């Protein structure tokens, strides 16, 4: 569903990603791990086209998206929940979600029930400004905004960062429900090892901008975690 091959990207003169290759299959949750600063968010931005790749390719469903703008990637079926949520604080909750419909391939103007059904507290807050929500509520809003376009590939960048445990549990169940439906591929960046072990099917670990390790949940032993992830 999503294939990244020999991707190189960076900022200014700095090269952050160096020949990264990975893939995500439909119905699969692939987790991207690594210490701070190794290039995880840079990879997500490169896949979405927010940051231009210098070398390599990004393919979705067999189509080369490497030179395509972010809006075209979103309308082709990629959904993105960025690190820090990046909701629009002055807009209402409903308007924030409606913005996600701009990426819908059907051009619908109606919020799909299934997108907000996963976060049942949101409809009651439709009239509130996004900036007035708690961090956990904003994360749910960012998640719902990505889901309204019915993406076939969902990129989640640190969805549990700074979130209270109850909402972390809610997000875990949402990811599991999307995975169980079998239609959507998920690329997940997350520091919480316990969380990724509970939802992930395959793992990549970045170190100094390259894939230093990859493997199955059974292969992600405590020794591997200590070697690559312990600060």
Residue 57's DSSP bridge partners are 5
Share of the chain above pLDDT 90, in %: 75
* Tokens (6 digits) for 220: 């992600």
Query: What are the φ/ψ torsions at residue 204 (nearest 5 degrees)?
Result: -125, 140
Is the pLDDT at 108 greater than 80, yes or no?
Answer: no
pLDDT of residue 10: 93
Highest mean pLDDT among 41-45, 105-109, 159-163: 41-45
Contact status, residue 93 vs residue 133, Cβ threshold 8 Å: yes
Rounded mean pLDDT, 141-165: 92
Using one digit for the tens of pLDDT, what is the confidence trace for 181-231?
888 999 999 989 999 999 999 999 999 999 999 999 999 999 999 999 987
d(CA 49, CA 46): 5
User: DSSP string of 103-163?
Assistant: G-TT---S--HHHHHTSTTSGGGTTSBGGGS-HHHHHHHHHHHHHTT--SEEEEESTTTT-
pLDDT of residue 122: 92
pLDDT of residue 105: 72
pLDDT of residue 11: 93
Q: How confident is the model at residue 69 (pLDDT cuts 50, 70, 90)?
A: very high
Class of the CATH domain delimited by 2-86+150-229 = alpha beta
d(CA 160, CA 127): 25
pTM given for the model: 0.92
| Buried/exposed code over 13-24 (b: 16+ C-beta within 10 A; e: otherwise) | eeebbbebebbb
d(CA 46, CA 40): 10
C-alpha neighbours within 13 Å on the C-beta side of residue 63: 11
Sequence spans of domains, the chain: 2-86+150-229
Is the pLDDT at 104 greater than 80, yes or no?
Answer: no
d(CA 144, CA 115): 6
Instruction: Please report where in the chains the tokens 């290759």 appear, as a residue.
Output: 21
Q: How confident is the model at residue 88 (pLDDT cuts 50, 70, 90)?
A: very high
pLDDT of residue 31: 97
Using one digit for the tens of pLDDT, what is the confidence trace for 166-179?
989 999 999 999 99
* DSSP, res 50: S
């Amino acid at each position: 569903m999503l294939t990244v091959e020999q991707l190189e990207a960076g900022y200014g003169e700095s090269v952050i990603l160096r020949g990264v290759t990975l893939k995500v299959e439909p119905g699969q949750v692939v987790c991207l791990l690594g210490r701070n600063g190794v290039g995880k968010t840079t990879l997500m931005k490169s896949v979405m086209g927010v940051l231009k790749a210098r070398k390599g390719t990004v393919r979705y469903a067999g189509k080369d998206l490497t030179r395509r703008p972010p809006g075209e990637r979103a309308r082709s079926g990629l959904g993105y929940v960025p690190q820090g949520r990046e909701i629009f604080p002055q807009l209402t909750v409903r308007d924030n979600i409606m913005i996600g419909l701009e990426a819908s391939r059907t051009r619908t103007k109606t919020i799909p029930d299934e997108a907000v059904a996963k976060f049942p507290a949101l409809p009651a807050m439709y009239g509130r400004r996004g900036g007035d929500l708690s961090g956990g509520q904003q994360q749910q809003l960012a998640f719902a905004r990505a889901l309204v376009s019915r993406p076939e590939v969902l990129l989640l960048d640190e969805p549990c960062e700074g979130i209270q445990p109850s909402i972390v549990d809610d997000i875990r169940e949402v990811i599991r429900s999307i995975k169980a439906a079998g239609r959507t591929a998920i690329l997940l960046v997350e520091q919480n090892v316990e969380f990724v072990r509970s939802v992930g099917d395959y793992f990549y670990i970045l170190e100094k901008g390259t894939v230093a390790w990859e493997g199955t949940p059974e292969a992600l032993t405590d020794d591997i975690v200590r070697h690559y992830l312990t600060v």
